Every structure is written in C-alpha cells, then in structure tokens.
Amino acid sequence: MVCNLVSLRKLHQMNLWWDNQLGQNVIRTKEGNPIAYLEDRHDQFVIEYQPEGYASFTTTRPSYRIRNSVLADAQRWHLRLGHPGPQAIEHLVNASKGARIRGPTTVECDACGIAKMKRQIRRTPKDIEEGPGLQLAIDFHDFEKGYQDFRSLMLVTDRWSGLVWDYYLQDRTSDTIIKALEDLFRTLKHQYNIIPKIIECDNEIVTQKPQVYAFICSKGIKFEPSAPNTQSQNGGAERSGGVIKDKARAMREGAKLPAFLWPEIVRAAVYLFNRTPHYQANWKTPIDRFHTYIAHSEGVVVEDRKPQQAHLKVYGCKAFAMTPEAQKKEKRLQRFKPRAWIGYLVGYDSTNIYRIWLPRQNRVIRTRDVIFNEEEQFSGNMATTLAIMQDEFQKVSLQEFNQIVENIEIQHQDSLERGTQETDDFSYIGHFDSIEYIMDTAPSACDLAHQQEKEDDAYPTPPESPKESFHPAALFSSAIGEHVNTQVPISEHLQTWKASFLAGRLIQSIRKHGDQIISKAKLERLIKQPGGLSRVHRRNLPPEPKCHRGLKDHPLGTLFEQAEKVHLKGHKEMQTWQEIMSSDPLCKDRQILDCKWIYVYKFDKHGRFLKCKARLVVRGDQQKNHTDDLYAATLAVRSFRVLMSIAARFDLELIQYDITNAFVNAEVEEDVFMRMPPGYRRPGRVLKLKKALFGLKQSPVLWQRLFKRSLQDIGFHPIPHEPCCMAKGDILIFFYVDDIVLAYRKKSTEIVQQLVKKLQDQFKMTGGTELQWFLGIEIIRDRKDHLIWLSQSSYIEKIANLSESQPSDNVPMAQGGLHPYTGTASLRSIHKYQRKIGSLMYAAVVTRPDIAFATSKLSQYLMNPSPEHHKAADQVLRYLQRTQDLALQLGGGDDYILFSDASFADNQDRKSSQGYIIRLFGGTVGWRANKQATVTTSTTEAELLALSQASREGMFMERLLNDLQICLDNHHIHIFCDNVQTIRLVNEDINRLQTRLRHVDIHNHWLRQEARMGRIRVEHCPTSKMLADGLTKALPRQKFEPFVEQLGLVDVSKWRHENKNDERHQEIDEIDEDIYEA
C-alpha cells in the first residue's frame, strides 16, 4: 500500500521502532534489522517507499518480452542476493542484467554479522587449469535430517570460473556419491564437451571411500587429496562451501525460516552465489565467466553472458501463489473461493518459476503465478504465522482479494506494453529442466493433470526402483518455451536451462523498422499464411541462429534443419569424409578438430525471403603447426569496378554462376580428423576428411589451385595483374571463391556455352542468369546508353541500425575537427565503435567514395573512441541511410584520367591527408583517402607525396588494362593537380625542390623521371573543379553536393521503381497466360 503519512504509533504496534541515535535515522524491526531509511527533506522526515514487485499471472497470448530492469536500494538487493558482501553490491549493475541500484551501495545487516563470523585461515594460492570444468573441488557437508529426508550436501566447485554445482544426498555411501559424480561427468561431457582433468577433495575419499577413489581414477582423472585432518588444503571447495554456508545461514537468519528447510535454503544460496559478482573473477559472476568461455570455444561471438537479476525478490518474503484451481480455471462458478495460497519464497527454478513454501500445507511448490510482498517475511513462529494468515483472510473479503489479483494482472500486462525491450543473443543447454508454456488456448485435461503432479512436488519424485538417494539441485531450472506443442505436457524434463536467463521474453522484438516493431508472434502468423514466407522481407526476419542448439527456439528452425540435411546429403554424394572409430590407430596422437553450423538467409533482388541455408564449417582456428603456404588471392574490388566499366563501355554480356560446395571439390593432401556435425553425432565416432571443407586453413588455396587448373585445361590463360581473372580471346572470366562471372561479346555466346558445359562436367554449378548481384553489390544496367550502376542499398539498410543517435546534417562529416579522447573508453564502447567503422569501411571502398574521407578520419580513433567519435560515426551511418539509393555510375565516356590532392598538416600529429580519384570510361573506378605516413614541411611536399601515390596507382591500372587487351587512346597518364608549384617541379627542368627530407626528394626525382619519359603528364586543375578535394577535407553542403555529382553517384530509385513495375506487369502477363492455357 502506498502511503502519504506514516504514524509512529502504528509503527510501534507493528513492532517497528525509529532509531535516531548517534546520527542514525532508520526504521528497524524489533530484532534491529533496518527496513527503511529516512531523509530530511523540506523540514520533514521522508521514507522513499518502493512499490512491491509482482510476477505475472497467466496471459491469454504468448509473451516474448524481457523483464524490465528493477530499481531498488542497496539494502533490498543485499537481501535479494542472499546477503553478499558490500563490494559485490557495488559491481552488481555491471556484472548482471536487470539490476539497478538507487542511492549509496553501503548496507547494514545484523544477520550477516551473526551468520558470517569465522576464524582466519591463510591458504597459499594453487595453480589452476586454464578453462572451465577442468579442475574441480569437491566438499561434503552434513546437516540434520531435512526436507525430503536429505542429510548431506555435496558441493562441486569449478576452480577456474567459481561456478558451483550442489547435490543433496540422503546418505553418503559410495554408491550414492558415484551416482552423483556420474551425473556430473555425463552432464559436463554431453552439454559442454568438458572432461575434468583434476579433482581436489579432502582425504575422506581415499581413506573411507576407496570405491569412489577407484571410480575417479578409472575415468583418467587426477585425484589430489588434502593431507589428513587438513581440510584447509582443499581450498577451492572449502572456500566456496564456506561462503555458501555463510550465505545460507544469513538468509535463514534474515528470513526466519525453519531449520528443516535447509535443502531449499542452501539450494537458493547456490543459485544466488553463481549469480553474484566475485573479486577473484574480476567482479564477474561465475555463470558469466563459465558460459562466456564455452561460447567463445564453440565459435559463438558474444561480449558477455551476464545473468538476469530482475526476477529476484527478498529471500523469505511473503508470496501469494495462485492455486491450481485458479490456474486451470476450474470451479469457476465458485466465485468467492480464494484463488491463492499464502506462502514464503524459498528458491528459484528459473527467472519466472519460483519455489514457494506453504506453511499450512508444510510443502514446497513450483509456480510462476505469484505475487510478492517484499516488506513482510516469516515471523519465525509457525503458530503465530498461521494466526496472522487467518486474521488476514478475516479482514479482507474474498471479492476484494480476487479483484486485487485481476487488477495486478491487468497492470502487469500494461507495463509489458510500455516496458523497455532488451534482447539477449545467447542460449544455454543445461540439465533436467522443467519447461513451462504460456498457452493461447486452455490446456488439455491430460496436461493439467501432469502439471498438477509436477507443481505439487518440492523435488522431482525419484523412481521407486532403483531409488536415487541424491538430488542434483543446481542442475534443475526451468525454461520458457516459445511454441506450444499440444502433444507434449505443459511441464516436462528437458535438457535446457537457458530460460533461467531468458524467461519472460515471449514478446521479444525481432526487428524494428521505422516505428513498427516486428514481434515474433507476428512473424509466426506471416509464416503460417499460404505463401507467407515469400512475402517476408529481410528486415522482418529474426537474426539467424548462432548454433545448432538454437534451432529449436528459432521461428524458422525447421527450415534450417531441412537445410542441414540437404547440406549433409551433398557431402555424402561428394564423399567428403569417411566415418571411423575414434579408437582407430589413424587417430592416435592426431588433433581432432571441432565443427559448427553456419546459418544464413537467401533473398531475391528485392530483399524478399527465398530459403534458409546451412553450411558445415570445420574449426580451422583450432589447427596447430600448419606451416604450408595458405595464401589464396581474392578478386580486388578495384578490379571488379574496372571489369564492370569495360562491360558497360563495350556492351559485354555478363552471366553469373555459382559452384555448389566449391571447397569440397578439392582433395585434402594430408590426414585431417573432425568431430561429427552438431546434432548428428554418434558416440565414439569421428570423421576423416577426404575433401577440403569450409573453415580449414588450406581449403581456399586448394580450391583456387584446382579451379584455375580446370580453367587452364579448357583454354583460359591468367591475367598477370589480377590472379582471380582469366581470359580466352575476347572472353573474360573472373571469380570470387565460388561466385563466377563470364563477360563476353554476344557473338561468342555459343563458345561460352561450350566452355560452361565443360566446367559443369567437373563441378556442380547453378545460375546461368544475367549478373544482378555480386558480393552484396546490386548491378543495374542500361544497355541502351551503355551504363552500369553499382548499388549497396541493401547493405546500407542493414548497417543503418548500428547508429545510436539521430544527426540531422546532410553531409557525412561536420567541418569541426575531431580530437583524441582524454578519458578511457570501455571495451563495450570500443567494440561498438570498431563495428561501426568496419561496416562503413566496406561501403567506402566499394561504391561510396563520398564517405571515404569521413571513414578514414574516424578510423584513427579505433582504440579509444569518445562519445563524440560515436556521434560522428552515427552521422555517417545516417547520411548513408538517407542516400542509400545513390549508386556508382560506370560507363558513358572514353577517358582515363586521375585527380590528386593533399591537405597540409591537418592532423593532430601534423601529418597531411591525401587522396586520389581514377576515372575510366566516364566512371569512377578507383579512389583512396588516407593520411600520409610521414610529416612534410610544406604544402608542396605534401602535394608531391600525394601525386606520387596517384601516379603509381594509375600505372598499375594501366598495366591491368593492357593485360585485358584494352587499348587507350592516350599513351600517357593524365593527372590533374591544383598546386601550381608542384606541377612546375615535375614538368620543368629548371625548377628543383629545396628540401632536406630525403624521402620527399626521392618521390620528386621519380615523378620528374616519369614525366620526362612521357609515362605521366601532370596538368593544372582549379580547386573548384578538383575532384579529389572531398577526399582530403570535410566539405560544407554547398560544396559537397557538387562533389557527389562529380563522383558519378546517381539516384537510381526512379529506375528501380520503374523496373519493379515492369516486373509486376510481366508477372501479371504470365498469370494471364496460365489462365488462358487452363
């Protein structure tokens, strides 16, 4: 209840008192625990009251949205996290998700003082194996007989990450301990592919449990017992066990729970321990440290895997748990029957499934539908608690209670619609989890019966024969399913625990386009409609899965699974590998590489969905000691633009082909072994590769050698200055890995068809259509006017979402200079900035020279970007988004000219900026904007260095054109420069440069030599017409717009719109023909 005034008399009646002695200003319980801090504001003492947090009740539709971050003071987070230390609270926000702290992070807790007093022990640090799960520490703790007859606790601590697994034992016999260890080893192996190397334990295993010792040794695990009666040597387990016992003791002291609930209390303590930041892990949580390492080892690129904390409540607080009748909507005519039990929070199964102890029934239930009152806790006396419960029911009518429940449900749904939307890009596979579904329709009677049976049990009921005497509690947590399978019960044991982080996300935003949010539910409706997939645009699709385990939760997971099977079928036909036993002598002392699936979407030229593709990739990054020549050339984008310019000028045909599974055509020249593909693995089996596979370091060069050899066999000869281009007469073929383009005159069509037929005899090829897309570049042609446009509008649309701000300028960079950051950027900021600049760089070097200078300038701050640098990068991204229809025009002329310019000492280190532009057949085919490597002492020297760079690039391109049998009218290279003194130094014999910079003098003499021999000709160009001016400085809008036009960037939106209309009319004509034939 929210109050405006608080009565001190009423507080005394509630056994609360105001502590205002010695500078204190706190409301405390009779035990002295602080519950509220008072502040002096406007001559009044003010309590900053926080409303209770509520968990959601069942909704009528799937909910995919993540919980909002929870704001509370440090004291409340201290109670929610099970009484951690003050430094852990300080680092909580940065180490987890969903937690926000108001006010100071210092706390005052009497329960901690009572529960955590201990003597000091000095331990010498031990060397720890690098990596999670490799070195484990085991410790045992005995208790009085507790809930479910458990008497002992076995804690297993990962020494590297600090993660703890807890097993509850009804006895400590060797058989029970072996079963628990078997379960642990099986889980680590199957879920994480981890085999422990070392186990630390006290001497009890050796002296009293020889069967357990023999079992551990039989697994090939090194056993390190402590000395007799020296438990402190088992530091890893003793330390974590002591912390967990202290935490559990403080939690029980604060919550006043009965002692027989120790399994639930310790279970919750372990749950919270694994989610609390630790000093030894650089203030990261054990869950984050463990699973981030696992993700990186599996090739999943993630920044971190912080646990979600928004669901945590004050431990032991009062809870109103919805009854099974209310959940099932049974006995609906009994309108005034209570809909909730009163209990107390004793643990968590996931981020939205709680464990509630019901004092009246004296049992623990699992439930999602619960309301919490964090201000009230168990009194510590059963009789008093039951009397209070009865008194509360007498004071509040059932109608009022039911109305409160309904109002809370409505309010929670409204808050979801208004809440912030976050997304997590990770998933975990774990153990023995119980999955809870949020259903569109009422569940079946079978499902409800199964749900009741599961939720009424505090622990999963072990089978009667044989009887299990241990319980792996830390491995139990619940997941939220994203789809409802009517053939599966509502709750079932599944091996996944990712919902302990991701629960409550069923209204997850997949894509945001403009002001429209594309939710997962909306996407599923589109997919279910007839022909719906073909109408889904790329911006409305969720991100591709990152690993095979993510398929089951992905909306298009079934299609990706089908793509996997098609891909594996292709490998079977190609005989890519041979399946052998891992014990085969061939595998002895040989490295066995891992592999992973890569998933991508395929779209048509309008960005509409075509199909899902899956490709198996071997983990080549794991290869060791590979010293062979691995270099495989790829087609330079500059050469691609030259070839497109030639095709436009001479009206060449452009036909594209794709080679299916290109690398698999090349045979491996050495023995390589690989694990079986994820999702299709068989125990004790590995694969011996016979063909090159994607991911192997040597695969690209093996494929390139094979393909070039095949081209030479049918008459093609290489082009010296472009290794990925070959010629046969007037027929050109160029390729980028497995994408092949043939360029030829129309009269050579029959010869080309014969050549393609010979290639198809060797390789499986698809395509044969006119070139429209190449490396994400859209190719638009106007055959009548001999023009080609290169557009990256689809790529720009994709990277525009990287922008975090909304600049309004119409130029990519403002004229004000950028300065180095005097502070220190966070790793997250650096990663984001590098991702932005890397994305901009691809557009800048392929089709958008208008952003070349801005990108070059921003790339100077990659290692320590400031907020201003981020804003500048966002401005370039937004400029690209506004001008995404600009395409680079090629063709329409016969010239070959260069422009060179420099901006003297314009950088912080006083180095000059320089740039050049190369024009061929009326289009811009080459450019560069960069900072000079050395400092110059005058404008003339800077211009000379820029002119030397442009001349060298021009000569290289001239030699490439000669190799392609393209004859130019001019026998020298025309270079335009706007510095008269530089031109005179190059062209006139009487002028000499007076400089003490030897490297500048060398460039000057080389330019004069080339000019005298007639290879280059430097001419003057006014600065107003200098095309390279925009590559050396940020231009104002009135100069930038003419610069864009001079570059040959043309808006093709009108042409694209007309082309779409033509295609639409063609589709209508085809439909009319089909109707007529029918």
Q: Is 41 helix (H, G, I), strand (E, B) or coil?
A: strand
For residue 555, is it within any domain?
no
Residues 258 and 189 in one domain: yes
Task: Establish if 819 belongs to a structural domain.
Answer: yes
DSSP output for 155-173: EEEETTT--EEEEEES---
Distance CA 699, CA 664 (A): 9
572 domain-assigned:
no
Q: Which residue has the tokens 């007037």?
A: 730
- Burial (0-12, 13-18, 19+ Cβ within 10 Å), 117: exposed
Identify the residue with better confidence: 684 or 846: 846
Distances (CA, A) of 164 to 241, 289, 1043: 9, 12, 63
Q: Is the pLDDT reported for residue 188 higher than 50? A: yes
Paired residues of 147 in beta bridges: none
Listed range (160-169, 422-431, 530-539) with the worst mean pLDDT: 422-431
Q: Do residue 997 and residue 1033 come from a single domain?
A: yes
**735-763 pLDDT, tens digit each:** 998 899 999 999 999 999 999 999 999 98
Looking at residues 652-668, what average pLDDT do you find? 89
Tell me the β-bridge partners of 222: 198
Q: Are residues 842 and 729 in the same domain?
A: no
* 791 has pLDDT over 90: yes
* Position 1078 pLDDT exceeds 90: no
pLDDT of 591: 84
Sign of CA dihedral 651, 657, 658, 664: negative
Q: What is the mean pLDDT of the chain?
A: 76
Q: Which residues contact 804 (CB under 8 A, 6 or more apart)?
A: 832, 870, 874
Indicate whether 769 and 795 sit together in one domain.
Answer: no
pLDDT band of 857, cuts 50, 70, 90:
very high
pLDDT of 838 reads 93
Predicted pLDDT at 1076: 36
Q: Can you tell me the distance from the alpha carbon of 232 to that of 120, in angstroms, rounded to the nearest whole number?
A: 11
Residue 671 lies in a domain: yes
Which of residues 441 and 885 earns the better pLDDT score?
Answer: 885
| 326 and 249 in a common domain | no
Look at residue 279 in the predicted model and tell me its pLDDT. Answer: 77
Helix residue spans in 14-162 (DSSP H): 74-80, 86-90, 92-95, 110-115
The verdict on residue 102 lying in a domain is no
In a domain, 296, yes or no: no
Q: How far apart are CA 276 and CA 87, in angstroms?
A: 10
Residue 429 has pLDDT above 50, yes or no: no
Model confidence at 511: pLDDT above 70: no
Domain that holds residue 14: 1-49
> Is the model more confident about 279 or about 829?
829
Q: For the stretch 516-526, what's the b/e string if a residue is b when 16 or more beta carbons lie within 10 angstroms of its beta carbon? A: eebbbbebeeb
Task: Select the more confidently predicted residue: 51 or 591.
Answer: 591
Token pair of 698 as six digits: 């040597």
Looking at the 3D structure of the chain, how many domains does it have? 5
* String of DSSP letters for 950-1004: HHHHHHHHHHHHHHTTPPPS-SSEEEEES-HHHHHHHH-SS-----S-HHHHHHH
Please tell me whether residues 390 and 501 are part of one structural domain. yes
Highest mean pLDDT, choosing among 51-65, 487-501, 808-822: 808-822
In this predicted structure, the answer to whether residue 438 has a pLDDT above a threshold of 50 is no
Specify whether 919 is located in the same domain as 1025.
Answer: yes
Residue with structure tokens 């569109």? 440
Q: 927-956, pLDDT tens digit by residue?
A: 999 898 888 888 888 888 889 999 999 999
For 351, 641, 667, 688, 701, the CA distances from 671, given in Å and listed in that order, are 47, 40, 11, 7, 17
Residue 252: pLDDT band with limits 50, 70, 90: confident
The amino acid that residue 945 corresponds to is: L
* DSSP-based three-state secondary structure for 367: strand
Residue 435 belongs to a domain: yes
Q: Tokens standing for 88?
A: 């852990």
pLDDT for 415 equals 39
Residues in the chain, total: 1078
Cα radius of gyration (the chain) = 35
pLDDT 10s digits, 1016-1051: 899 999 988 899 899 999 899 999 999 999 999 999
Pairing between β-strand 99-102 and β-strand 70-73 as defined by DSSP bridges: parallel
Put residue 450 in one of left, alpha, beta given phi > 0 → left and psi -120 to 50 → alpha: alpha
Find out whether 833 and 864 touch, Cβ atoms under 8 Å: no
152 occurs within a structural domain? yes
CA angle 86, 88, 92 (to 5 degrees): 120
Q: What are the φ and ψ backbone dihedral angles of 817, each rounded to 5 degrees? A: -75, 155
Q: Last residue of some domain: 274, 303, 332?
A: 274
Instruction: Show Cβ contacts of residue 425 under 8 Å, excluding neighbours closer than 6 positions.
Output: 302, 543, 546
Q: Tell me, what's the pLDDT at 514? A: 43
Q: How many helices (H) and strands (E) does the chain have?
A: 30, 44
Q: For residues 307 and 208, what is the distance between their CA atoms, to the nearest angstrom? A: 39
Whole-angstrom Cα distance, residue 87 to residue 103? 15
Confidence of residue 338 (pLDDT cuts 50, 70, 90): low
Tokens found for residue 901: 């310019």
Look at 21-30, 581-590, 635-644 and tell me which has the smallest mean pLDDT: 21-30
The answer on 717 and 691 residing in a single domain is yes
Residue that finishes a domain, picked among 723, 745, 775: 775
**Does the pLDDT at position 249 exceed 90?**
no
Higher pLDDT, 516 or 1003: 1003
> pLDDT tens-digit profile of 553-568?
888 888 899 999 999 9
> Where residue 79 falls among pLDDT bands split at 50, 70, 90?
confident
Same domain flag for 257 and 319: no
Q: Are residues 893 and 1022 in the same domain?
A: yes
pLDDT score of 840 more than 90: yes
pLDDT > 80? residue 297: no
Greatest extent of the chain over all pairs of C-alpha atoms, in Å: 111
Bridge-based pairing state of the strands 609-618 and 595-603: antiparallel
Instruction: Show the tokens assigned to 39.
Output: 């502040």
For residues 1024 and 901, what is the distance between their CA atoms, to the nearest angstrom? Answer: 12
Least confident of 515-519, 552-556, 678-682, 871-875: 515-519
Supply the CATH number for residue 168's domain: 3.30.420.10
Give me the pLDDT at residue 5, please. 76
Residue 825 confidence (pLDDT): 87
Q: What confidence score (pLDDT) does residue 53 get?
A: 39
Same domain for 39 and 62, yes or no, is: no
Of the chain, the percentage scoring pLDDT greater than 70 comes to: 72
* 985 shares a domain with 836: yes
Predicted local distance difference test score (pLDDT) of residue 645: 94
Last residue of some domain: 226, 254, 274? 274
Residue 105 has a pLDDT of 59
**420 confidence band (pLDDT: 50, 70, 90):** very low
pLDDT the model gives residue 827: 86
